Amino acid sequence: MIRDRKNFTPVMLTIWAMLLLAVFVALGLARWSLAFVTLATLALSLVPPTLASRWSLTLPVPFLLATTVFFFASIFLGEAFDFYERLWWWDLALHAFSAIGFGLTGFLFVFMLFEGDRFAAPPSAIAFVTFCVAMMIGAVWEIFEYLMDQTFGLNMQKSGLDDTMGDLMINAVGSAIASITGYLYLLRKPTGLLGRSLGQFIELNKRLYRKSRDRMKK
C-alpha cells in the first residue's frame, strides 16, 4: 500500500486517471490488446512508489514524475498509439533517457551496499559495479521486450537483433554517464542536474548512507 501520497504531482495523477479510463474504454470496445497494454502501463508506473512505501524509502518528486512519464511514453504511447513508427527518434530518446535512469538507480543501490552499514569501497570500484548493474537492468529490459513480442504479438523489438544491439549500445553510453556522475559525486564534485538528483535521494534517505556521511565529515 502506498502511504506517502503527498509527492504525487497533478501530472502523475492525471496520467494515472487517463490510463484507468482508457482501460475501461478498451474493455468496453473489446480491444483486449489495448486494454492489456494500458493496464500494464498503469501497473508499472505504480511499481516505484509501491516499492518505496514497502521498503520505507523516500523518492524525490522528479524521480516519481520521470518514471511515470517514461512508462506512459514507452508502453502506452509507443505501443498503443504506435509512436515508435510515427517518430523515428522516439525509441532512441526513450532508451537514452532510461539508460541514464537505470545507471543512476544502479549507483544509488551499489552505493547503499558499499557505503551503508556493512561495506566500503573506493569510488572507482563503486562506479565500475554501477556500470555493470545498469547494463544488467538494460539487458533484462530487452528480455522483457522479447517476451512481450513472443507472448502477446507486440512489436517492441522492432527490427529484432539490430534494435536490441542498438538499445544495448545506448544503454552502455547511459550507464557510463551515470557511473561517471556517481564517481564525481563521491569525489564531492556533483555534475549538474544528475549529481544534484543523486544528492537529493541520498539526503532524503540518510539512514541508508550514514557510513558515507560519517566518512565525509572526517
pTM over 0.75: no
Where does a domain end: 22, 47, 81? 81
Where does a domain end: 81, 100, 127? 81
Q: What is the mean pLDDT of the chain?
A: 80
Same domain, 17 and 92: no
DSSP letters for 151-173:
HH---TTTTTHHHHHHHHHHHHH
pLDDT one-digit tens code per residue, 70-118? 888 887 888 778 887 888 888 888 888 888 888 888 888 888 876 544 4
Q: How many domains does the chain have?
A: 2
Instruction: Judge whether residue 58 has pLDDT over 70.
Output: yes
Same domain, 125 and 150: yes
Same domain, 100 and 183: yes
Same domain, 105 and 185: yes
Q: What are the CB-based long-range contacts (under 8 Å, 24+) for 64-69?
A: 64/7, 64/8, 64/9, 64/12, 65/9, 65/11, 65/12, 66/97, 66/101, 67/101, 68/11, 68/12, 68/15, 68/16, 69/11, 69/15
Instruction: Judge whether residue 171 has pLDDT over 80.
Output: yes
Same domain, 19 and 40: yes
For residue 144 the three cell numbers come to: 522483457
Structural domain including 29 reads 1-81
DSSP assignment, residue 46?
H
pLDDT for position 120? 64
What is the band of 176 on the pLDDT scale with cuts at 50, 70, 90? very high
Q: Considering only 82-91, 109-118, 156-165, 167-176, which range has the smallest mean pLDDT?
A: 109-118
Where does a domain end: 52, 81, 110? 81
